[in-house]
Chains A and B, each alone.
Chain A
């Protein structure tokens, strides 16, 4: 019997019923992730990578196959699989502190009020947002909102941290500073992370492993590349190392030669 991975996706398939008949989005997806591993899922738009993340989150049920987390079958969403959404999805009627507090109240039910408050502020400090605790999301920039989104997810102490194109809506400079923040947090907490991205550099810089997906329909995992880069990684120094350049080339080759954008082909 093979060693059971911490998070394992076994023969996942998703078929949507559409007006034109069944549409197979994902097929034969097998993925095993070790505890503390940072995995980036990369692929073109519409390849079903968001669907795959939602399956791990429990927000979408697969048509076939099973997801096991530390031996438990996943069949519904839960706070043990925190999600950082692309649009941050902070509740605009709550302050920054209350937004994080809502998550902490759900996950630290045994703790006293003071302990919970302490924990909320601790996590806001982790993303350097403690100064904005009493502000509402509407008063913050996009990057600051996503920092709070990260704090909310990390504060839940999830077994797996899921990121759905977390920096996709941000400008390049803000994105870089949030990537650094994620690396800093990851160095401290060593979470198990699954991150969706379509930014090659982001995948290579942050992840231990880049999982590349083929184009849909019936998308599956095309290639699985380990990134052998020492941590802590510095974006400028890392970019010059042969390992980084090699990994970047491999991902680019996969995305633009073997499985080029399906919309380019159609044109």
Chain B
């Protein structure tokens, strides 16, 4: 028996036991926890009371899918309840410095239930009232607009610079050390320089977002270009593709997964920079809202704003990730 055939048999043998275990047995293991919560709370359609639930393997695909979703959401939900409970209990005393969830609810009630104050939609588009008296969603929208501009610019510049240093070894050696140093500078540290360069609050805020988001985009795009399989490069060389055709037909499609990793980290970073950016440009925006509520000792408002920032950041990340998957599939 040769070494490879021994190996092959070993793999076969180690692979066979799991497949021989009947699948249904592993399913009921998940049931007790899932069943301990009423179906309605899990977002699972209630089954008809008359017909008893059939054995696991015969379940309708729709029901099984719903149960899978419930099984994946349930731990998050339980964790959230637990966290809120611990927070509530530990901060319930009057002398507690951190407000409890119930105090956040009562003291920031207006902020929570009227997020769209001062925001109006009409035929001419979205309108946000000038001045500070705007709901939290209005602040978020203002911040999103700034992030869109700063991040958009960093995406374009980052991909271009990434291709440059990925393609040219000279440019890589010249610029990579610089980028590696600069990328570790926190957004707040850029603030004085940004103000000194631009003199005005608006452009400075955009620059802060830009400079925070650009590094992962550059470095990941460069890594993507450097990791194009040599055979794809050879295809381009044998076909004598022009540089533009090579860029469009081989380099960009081959780099898409890396590029979107960078774009995804970048969108998260740009959202992280928003608070720093809006400390410069006051008046509106979620970063300003936090700064303002801190200065007015409205800690409960800050907590509400934190939750909004987290949710929006999470959504941005998912949106860019989704676009990346779409683009990669279409090539």
Residues in A lying within 8 Å of B, measured CB to CB: 57-59, 77-79, 81-83, 85, 87, 89, 91-94, 102-103, 106, 156
Contacts and interface: CB of A to CB of B under 8 A. Distances in A.
Given A92-B331, A93-B253, A102-B249, A82 B238 contact: yes
A91 B238 contact: no
A87 B231 contact: yes
Contact of B234 (A85, A102, A103): A85
Nearest to A93: B331
Contacts, number: 47
A149 to B, nearest CB: 10
B237 A106 contact: no
Interface of B: 229, 231-232, 234-235, 237-241, 249-250, 253-254, 330-331
B238 A78 contact: yes
B238 A59 contact: yes
A103 B239 contact: yes
Contact of A91 (B237, B240, B253, B330): B253
Given A89-B232, A91-B232, A77 B250 contact: no
Given A85-B231, A87-B231, A92-B331, A77 B238 contact: yes
B235 A79 contact: no
Contacts of A83: 234, 238
Contacts of A79: 238-240
Given A91-B235, A91-B249, A102-B249, A77 B331 contact: no
B235 A89 contact: yes
Contacts of A94: 249, 331
A52 to B, nearest CB: 16
A59 B234 contact: yes
Contacts of B235: 85, 89, 91
Overall SS of chain B's interface:
helix
Overall SS of chain A's interface:
loop
Contacts of B330: 93
Contacts of A106: 239-241
B271 to A, nearest CB: 30
Given A94-B331, A102-B249, A89 B239 contact: no
Contacts of B253: 91, 93
8 contacts: A78-B238, A79-B240, A83-B234, A83-B238, A87-B231, A89-B231, A89-B232, A106-B241
A59 B238 CA distance: 8
B242 to A, nearest CB: 9
Contact of B239 (A59, A92, A93, A102): A102
Nearest to B235: A89
A78 B241 CA distance: 9
Nearest to B229: A89
A102 B50 CA distance: 63
Contacts of A103: 239
Given A92-B331, A93-B253, A57 B238 contact: yes
A165 B330 CA distance: 31
Contact of A81 (B231, B238, B241, B331): B238
B255 to A, nearest CB: 11
Of all A-B residue pairs in the complex, the 5 with the closest CB atoms, nearest first, are A93-B331, A89-B231, A93-B253, A77-B237, A106-B239
* Residue of A77, A87, A89, A93 with highest tally of chain B CB at under 10 A: A93
A115 B327 CA distance: 30
A94 B241 CA distance: 16
A92 B249 CA distance: 11
Contacts of B231: 85, 87, 89
Contacts of A81: 238
A91 B245 CA distance: 14
Given A59-B234, A83-B234, A91 B250 contact: yes
A162 B34 CA distance: 61
Nearest to A77: B237
